[in-house]
Structure 1
Amino acid sequence: MTAVDPAPAPARPLNWWETATRWTQVTFTEDDPGRMDIGFWTDVMRRSRSNASCISAGGYMAFYPTQIPFHYRSTALGDSDPFGEMVEASRSLDMAVMARVDPHAIHADALAAHPEWAALDQDGNPVEHWAFPGIYVTCPFGTYNREFTTEVAREIVREYDVDAIFANRWQGHGISYSEAAKRSFFDATGLHLPRGPRDPDDPAWQAYPGWRRQQLSELVGLWDNAVKDLKPHVRFFPNLGSVAVQDLERALVEEHYPMLFIDRQGRHGNEAPWSAGRNGKRSRSVFRDRPVGLITSVGPEEPVHRWKDSVGSPAETQAWIVDGFAQGLLPWFTKFKGEVLDTRWVQPIVDAFGLHERVEDLLARTTIRADVAVLDPTRRMAAKAGAPLEVMYTDNDLHGHGVYQALLEAGLPFEFVNDQRITRAELDLFRVLVIANAELLSDADCTVIREWVRDGGSLVAAFETSLADAEGAPRSEFGLADVLGVRLRSRARGPVKNNYVALTGQHELHEPYAGAQRIIGGTRVVEVEAADGTQVPFRFVPDYPDLPMEEVYAREAPRDPAVVTREHAGGGRSVYLAFDIASLFWESLQPDHGQLLAGAVRWALRGDGRAQVSGPGMVDVAVHENDRESGVFLVNLTNPFTMRGAYREVIGTGPYAVSVTVPEGKQVDEVRLLISGADAPSTITDGRVEVVLDRIGQLEVVHVTWRDAGEDSE
C-alpha cells in the first residue's frame, strides 16, 4: 500500500456519532484526482463548522491506492490519494470521518473474471447499466456484496483513520435472476423467483419482499460486524433512502445502527417545501431514539432532468436544511465532484449550518413534542396498490399532503404515528390522532385506538378510514364505527360535482364560516348514519346538475351527515368527515377545506395545545422542550415559489403571535429570541405566554425557560 500514513490515532469512543451533527460530503468523479483543491475543502469544512465528513473511497471506483483485484482505480489516480488527503484534512479539524463506497456496478474486466458478481435478467444475461453502457449492475445477493464489498470496507478501515463506512446503492435494482439469488429464494420459499408484471396474487410475488428484507438484513449485519471486528468504534451504515429502514428487520437496526440517514436531497416540481421537515417526523415515527441526518444536495433535484454537478437556488438549499433541522434532522450537504467549478453554494451552506450551530445546544437538551399526531399510512397504501412492500413511501398520498398543509397553515405543531406502530405507548404521547384516510387498519389497530379514546384520547378521521382490514379485505362496517359514532350506509361514490355541505345546528366548527349557509363539499362521499349521542354540524346538500346553468340549484334540503362529532365519556372527542376533504384540499387548496380540517383538530384538542403560531404566510412550527425550557421553532416558508420550487430569496414576514402553554407547576423565567439574540417582551394570559414577533427571516426560535412556581429568579 502507498496510502497516506497518518500518525497513530487515539482510540475514539464507541459513541462518536453523538457529536457528528453537521456533515460535509464530497462525491468524487474519475477526473477529480489532480484537479481538486484540498485546501478549498478544508476551508469549507472549517467555515461551515462541519464536525463530520463523508468522502468517496471505493466500490465501483477507488480513489485510494487499493490492493484488491478488480477494485477499479480512477484512471487519474496515479500516485495520488485524494481520499487519504481528505481524511487527513477532516482529522485536522477534529471531525468524524465516513468513507463512501458504491457497490452497484462493475467494469467489464471484473465481469469477465467474476460473472457471478453481475445481476442477470430473466434470460440469464448480465444487466448492463441503464445510464452508462459498458458497465454492469451487480447482484446484491451474491459474493460481490458478501465478499468483495466486505473486503473493500475492511481494507479502508485497516489503512485509514475512519469512523464508518457508508454504502450507496447497495440494495440492487430490480430482481436479479443470478444463480445465487435463485438458489437462495428457492431454499427459503420453495418457489422460483417471480417473473413478468407484478401480480399481488402470485405466491412468488407475495414471498419476494419478505425474502429480500431478510437477505438485506443479513448483509448489513455482516458488513457492520466485519468492520467492528477490526476497530470496535467503526460502524457500517447503508444508505436507506427515505426512511426505508423499515425494509430491514427492526431488531437488526436496533443492534447495528445508532444513527440513520435520509437520502432526500431536495424538493422538485410541485413538492411542498415542508417535505424536508416531514422526513424528520416520519423518521421519529419509526425510531424515536435514533438521530437522523438529512442529506441535502447543493444542486437542483429533479426526477427526470439530471444536473448533479450544478448549483441550485441558494435560498432553496438553505430552506431545505433549516426546515430539516427544525424538525429534528441533522444537516448534511453533499457536493458532486471534488473539483469546484461554481462556488455559489458555499455561503448558503455556511449560513444554514451556522443557524444550526446557534441552536445546537438547545436541540441536544430537548425533545420534539406535540399534542397532535397524524397517522402515516403510506406503506399500506403502497401494498394495497400492488406496489412492492419495500417501497415504503411515495409522494402520491394526497390525503396526507392535504392534512399536513392544513395543520401547517393553522400554525399547529404535530408529529407522525407510523401505521406499523399503532401501539398504546405511541398514542399516549399525544392528545389527538388525525387519520386523513387510512382505509387499511387491522382489528388490533382499531382496538388500540378504541381503548385510547375510551381513556381520554381524541380522534379526527375522514373518508374511508377503517373500511378495510390490514390486508385490504373490505369490511361491511367501519372498524372504528363505535368510536366515530357512525354507521355505514353505502361505500364511497363519485366523482360527483356541485357537492356542498350545509351548516346545521350550532357548533364550534361553524366559527370560520360567518355569513355562509354552506361550503364546498367533496368529490367522493361516503353515505353514513349518525349514531345516538352525536352531533351533525354539517350535512350534505343532495347532488344536483352542474349544467345547464339554469339547472344549477338544490332541489332538496340538506340530509345525509357530512361531519359527525362526538363527546366521549372519558373526556376525549371524535370527528368524522364523510368525504375526501384532505386530498381535495391538497388538489384545490380551497381555504374552507383547510379551515374545517384545522377546526376539527382544534375542537378535538379543546384549544390550541402546547403552542400555537398565527400570522401571515406560511411557517413550519416545531416545539422542542424539556422540564425546564421550551423552544418554539418558526421556519419561514413564505415565498412566491412556496408551492413550486425553487425559492429565489428569503422573504422576511410578520408579525407573528406565538402562544405557549405554561406547564403545570411552572412560571416563566425568561423569554428570548435565539436567532436575533434579543429579549422577547411577553405577557401571560389565561395560563399562556404570549409573544409577538414583528418580523422573521429564515428562522426564529422563541426560547422560554421555566422555573418552579414560587421559585425566585436568579
Structure 2
Amino acid sequence: MKNILLLALFVTVNSMAQQGITDYWYQKPMRILQTVLRQPDAADYNVDSLVKYMNATHASTLVVNGGGIIDFFQNTLPMANVNPYIGKRDLLADIADGCHRANIKVIARVDFRGVDKKRYDQHPDWFARDEKGNPIVLNYTTPELYAPCYNSYYRNEHAVEFIEQLMVKYKLDGIWHNAVNFHNTCYCDRCKKDFNHTAGKEIPVKSSSKEEWEEYYRWNDGNAGRQLELMRGTVKKYGKDKTYAAEVFDMYKIEQQKHTGISLYSAAEYFDFFVIVAFLADNAQDVEYKDIYYPTAIVKFLKSLEPDKAPVILFGGNGTEHRYIYDPPLDSRLWLWEAAAAGGGFWNCYFNGYYPANAPDARNAYLATDAYKYLMDNEVLLKQLQPVTDIGIMYSKPSGELLGDNDFSGSMRGVQRLFMENHYQYGFVSDKMLTAEKLKEFKVLFMPDVAALSEEHVELIKDWVRQGGKLIATFKTSLYNEQGAARKEFGLSEVFGVSYLNQVVNTEMDCYQKIVSRNDLVAGMEQTDLLHNGGRTLMTKALAGSEIITGYLPKINNQPPEYAFPAKWESDYPIMVNNRFGNGESVYFANEIDKLNYTIGHPDYDQLLTNSIDHLLGKLQVLNTNAPASVHVCLNKSESGPGTFQLSLVNTSSSSQRPFRDLIPVENIIVELPFMIESADIIYGSDNSNLKFKNSTLTIDRLEEFYSVRINSK
C-alpha cells in the first residue's frame, strides 16, 4: 500500500510542476527588507549601515521608496515632488549603487494613489471625479490626496514616464506598485466615454440596480487588469529579469477585490512573484490577531494558483497597527515559521527608520535573522516546494462575491482550522484552476459553502465523483451559478443525495441535530442522541438510496425549563447525509458546519468533520502523528531531487490568548510517512533535539518553535 501511495504522490507532484521554465532570481525563496521611508529618514541616510544590517540579517533584496507621493530621487518630470530632506543628493542612486555592490537586489516602491492639492491644480483633468463632477479626495491620508482612477492620465501616461525614468537612471531590479487599488467609482471623461462605448449606457449611480452595478464591476475589472498589464509591460521592457509586483490583500476579502477589480487572481496573471500583505493584525481601531496558521494557508493557496511563482508574506517587525512599536515577538516568529513550513518567503516591512536597527523601537530588528538564514542556507531544497496532499479545498471567488466576506471567510477558516489541528495534508483548487486533471491530485475534495458553481464545474465534479472521487460539501454549495443566479435545486443534488426544499431556517440558538444512523460517521458519539447545531440550516429531503446520518430538530426554547422539550424527537429533515454516486461517495451537511467549527468551535463539529474525512480517506491518509493540535505539520515535495521531501513542524503550544506570552516545548513526537525513509537530516531544530527514523517513522524528541527535516525516500 505504501508503494502505491508513494507512486501516486510522485505523479501528483510532478504533474504540478511546469518544465522548461527559465530560472530567475525572483523564483527563489525571497528574503526581502522594505523600508517605507518618512521624509526625514533621508536626511542622514547611511547606505553602508543599511548594507551592513542587511548582510547581518541575511536579507537579499531591498524595497525602498522611489516616489509618487514624495520622490526620493531627483525627479525631472513636471509633476515631481522631491523630498526636501535629500537636498541635491540623489539618494536613490546612492542606495542602488551601494546595494548592487553588495549583491543586493533593489526594487523601487512607487505610489500613484494620489497627489496633494498643489500638484492636483497643475492637471485637474488627470484625476478621478465623483458622480457630481467633483474631485475624489482620499480623506484617510494626511494631507488629503486627490485620487486618479485606473483610466486616468496620471496612472497611465504619467506613471509609465515615471517608471521608465527610474528603470533607466538607476538600473533597478524591479518595481513594487504600492496602493494600486482604486476603491471608488469614477465619472471622469475617460471613464464615462469608455463605459458608454463598452456597455452603451451611463455609469451607474447609487440608485442603480444590482444588475447595473454587476456590469460596472465587470468593466472595472478589465480596467484594473489593463492597468497592471501596462505597468508590468513597462518594467519588462528593461529585461525579463526585472520584476513587477503590486499590493494585494487578504485571501478572504473578496468584497474589496470585487469592487477594486484587483485580486489574487490578478497577482497570478501579472506579478513575477506572489506577495500578499499579511501582518499579524490589520491597522484598525479594534485590533484582532489573525489565525496563527494563516501564513500556511495563504502560501498553499498562492502555490495552487501558479506553482512556479515564489510566494512571499509581507509582515513587519513593527507591524502595521501602532507602527512605531514592535509587534509581539513570539507571534511574529511563529508567523514566519508558518509561512516557511509551506515554502513561503519573507518580506519584512518597516515604516520608520531607514533600516530596522535605526527605528525608534528596534526591539524586533534582528528577530527574523535565523528565519532568513534558514531560507538562504536551504534555497535549493525549498525552491518551489509543493504540498503533499490528502484533501483539496475549493476556493471560489464567485462564491465569496455572492456570500460576502463574513460567510466566505468563516467557512474557509473553519476548514483550515480542521485541517491544521488534525494534521490533514491539504492544498487548494480555485474555480479558476478547476479541471479534471487538477482533481486527480486529491483523494477528497472539500467544498466549503461553494454556493456559486458554473454548469461546467457542476458536470466536472459529477464526473469526478462518478469515477471514484470523494466529496464533502456544506450548506448552499451549488445552489447558484457562477453569476450568482439562484437555482431551484442543488446543481450537485444527485451527488449529495438530497433535494432542496427552498427554505433556510435560523438555528442560531437552542437547536440540535438528532443522530439517525449509527456508523463510523458518528464514531465517538455513542453516549449521546443529540448533537450541537447553530448558524443556519437548509431544509432538505433525502433522495432514494442516500443515508441520513443526522437530522434537524426545531428550536427547543429553554425557558421556562418545565416546557423545554419538543413535541417529538424524530427528525423530518436531514442535515448530514452520506451518499454513493457511481464509483464515488459524498458527505453533505445542510448546515454551516465549517463556519461553526471556527465561530463556535463546539467539539461536535470537529468530530463530524474528522469522521467524514477518515471515512472517505479510509487508510490512505498521507501522514499520521501523535502531535497535539497545537503543532502544525506540513509535508512537502522538493524539486531538488527525486524522492526528496521536506517536513516542517510549527509549535504554537502557548497561553490561552493572543498575543502569545511564552511557548511550551512538545516532546516525543512521532510522524509516520507514506514511504520508507532512506535518510533524514535536521535543517532547523532545537540545539538539544534528536531525530530518529526507522522504516517510515520519524521520532523527534523535542520541538520548541520550529523543526524542519530533509528526507530522502527509498
Cα 1:214–1:324 shift into 2, 3 Å: same
Matching residue's letter, 1:109: K
Q: CA deviation at 1:101?
A: 0.7
Q: Distance in 1 between matches of 2:540 and 2:221?
A: 41
Q: Secondary structure at the match of 1:406?
A: helix
Q: How does 1:133-532 map to 2 (within 5 A)?
A: 133=143, 135-196=145-206, 199-201=209-211, 203=212, 205-231=213-239, 233-242=241-250, 247=261, 256-268=270-282, 269-301=288-320, 306-339=321-354, 340-364=359-383, 366-377=385-396, 379-384=397-402, 397-495=409-507, 497-532=509-544
Kindly indicate whether the alpha-carbon contact (under 8 Å) linking 1:20 and 1:51 is maintained by their aligned counterparts in 2.
no
Q: Secondary structure at the match of 1:445?
A: helix
Number of equivalent positions: 671
Query: Which deviates further from its counterpart, 42-51 or 529-538?
Result: 529-538
Q: Secondary structure at the match of 1:681?
A: strand
Q: How does 1:89-128 map to 2 (within 5 A)?
A: 89-128=98-137
> For residue 10 of structure 2, what is the aligned residue in structure 1?
none
Q: CA deviation at 1:325?
A: 2.4
Q: Secondary structure at the match of 2:85?
A: coil
Q: CA deviation at 1:286?
A: 2.7
Cα 1:242–1:562 shift into 2, 3 Å: closer
Q: Secondary structure at the match of 1:333?
A: strand
Percent identity of paired positions between Structure 1 and Structure 2? 21
Q: CA deviation at 1:491?
A: 2.7
Q: CA deviation at 1:57?
A: 1.1
Q: Distance in 2 between matches of 1:252 and 1:524?
A: 33
Query: Which deviates further from its counterpart, 283-292 or 241-250?
Result: 241-250
Q: CA deviation at 1:693?
A: 2.7
In structure 2, runs of 5+ residues without a counterpart are 1-21, 283-287
Q: Distance in 2 between matches of 1:520 and 1:478?
A: 25
Q: Secondary structure at the match of 1:456?
A: coil
Q: Distance in 2 between matches of 1:526 and 1:232?
A: 52
> For residue 85 of structure 1, what is the aligned residue in structure 2?
94
Q: Secondary structure at the match of 2:149?
A: coil
Q: CA deviation at 1:143?
A: 1.1
Q: Distance in 2 between matches of 1:323 and 1:528?
A: 40
Q: Distance in 1 between matches of 2:534 and 2:493?
A: 21
Q: Distance in 1 between matches of 2:677 and 2:149?
A: 60
Q: Secondary structure at the match of 1:694?
A: strand
Q: CA deviation at 1:231?
A: 4.5
Q: Secondary structure at the match of 2:300?
A: helix
Verify: 1:631 aligned to 2:649, yes or no. no
> For residue 583 of structure 1, what is the aligned residue in structure 2?
595
Q: CA deviation at 1:197?
A: 5.9
Q: CA deviation at 1:134?
A: 5.1
Cα 1:86–1:266 shift into 2, 3 Å: farther
Q: Distance in 2 between matches of 1:505 and 1:229?
A: 65
Cα 1:394–1:38 shift into 2, 3 Å: farther
What RMSD in Å do the two structures reach over aligned CA positions?
2.8
Q: CA deviation at 1:565?
A: 1.4
Q: CA deviation at 1:74?
A: 0.6
Q: Secondary structure at the match of 1:579?
A: coil
Q: Distance in 2 between matches of 1:157 and 1:217?
A: 22
Kindly indicate whether the alpha-carbon contact (under 8 Å) linking 2:655 and 2:662 is maintained by their aligned counterparts in 1.
no
Q: Distance in 2 between matches of 1:236 and 1:319?
A: 28
Matching residue's letter, 2:607: Q
Q: Deviations over 1:254-307 (max 9, x none)?
A: 775332221223335053112222222332333333222211122234xxxx42
Q: Distance in 1 between matches of 2:550 and 2:505?
A: 18
> For residue 6 of structure 1, what is the aligned residue in structure 2?
none
> For residue 693 of structure 1, what is the aligned residue in structure 2?
700
Verify: 1:30 aligned to 2:39, yes or no. yes
Q: CA deviation at 1:447?
A: 0.7
> For residue 4 of structure 1, what is the aligned residue in structure 2?
none
> For residue 681 of structure 1, what is the aligned residue in structure 2?
692
Matching residue's letter, 2:317: V
Q: Deviations over 1:232-268 (max 9, x none)?
A: 5323333233468994699987775332221223335
Q: Deviations over 1:601-660 (max 9, x none)?
A: 12111136212333234233322115412222222223325xx54333444234433221
Cα 1:616–1:182 shift into 2, 3 Å: same
Q: CA deviation at 1:345?
A: 1.4
Q: Deviations over 1:321-379 (max 9, x none)?
A: 221222232211111123421211122121332333354332226422212011223x3
Cα 1:479–1:674 shift into 2, 3 Å: same
Matching residue's letter, 1:276: P
TM-score, with structure 2 as normaliser: 0.87
Matching residue's letter, 1:73: V
Q: Secondary structure at the match of 2:579?
A: strand
Q: Secondary structure at the match of 1:348?
A: coil
Q: Distance in 2 between matches of 1:514 and 1:674?
A: 45
> For residue 69 of structure 2, what is the aligned residue in structure 1?
60
Verify: 1:565 aligned to 2:578, yes or no. yes
Kindly indicate whether the alpha-carbon contact (under 8 Å) linking 1:299 and 1:310 is maintained by their aligned counterparts in 2.
yes
Cα 1:383–1:249 shift into 2, 3 Å: closer
Q: Secondary structure at the match of 1:695?
A: strand
Kindly indicate whether the alpha-carbon contact (under 8 Å) linking 1:260 and 1:290 is maintained by their aligned counterparts in 2.
yes
Q: Distance in 1 between matches of 2:520 and 2:323?
A: 51
Cα 1:568–1:384 shift into 2, 3 Å: closer
> For residue 619 of structure 2, what is the aligned residue in structure 1?
607
Cα 1:253–1:32 shift into 2, 3 Å: closer
Q: Secondary structure at the match of 2:632?
A: strand
Q: Secondary structure at the match of 2:678?
A: strand
Kindly indicate whether the alpha-carbon contact (under 8 Å) linking 1:283 and 1:292 is maintained by their aligned counterparts in 2.
yes
Kindly indicate whether the alpha-carbon contact (under 8 Å) linking 1:542 and 1:555 is maintained by their aligned counterparts in 2.
no
Cα 1:425–1:82 shift into 2, 3 Å: same
Q: Secondary structure at the match of 1:669?
A: strand
Q: Distance in 2 between matches of 1:186 and 1:224?
A: 27
Q: Distance in 2 between matches of 1:471 and 1:285?
A: 23
Q: Deviations over 1:569-599 (max 9, x none)?
A: 42x3211122221222212111121121122
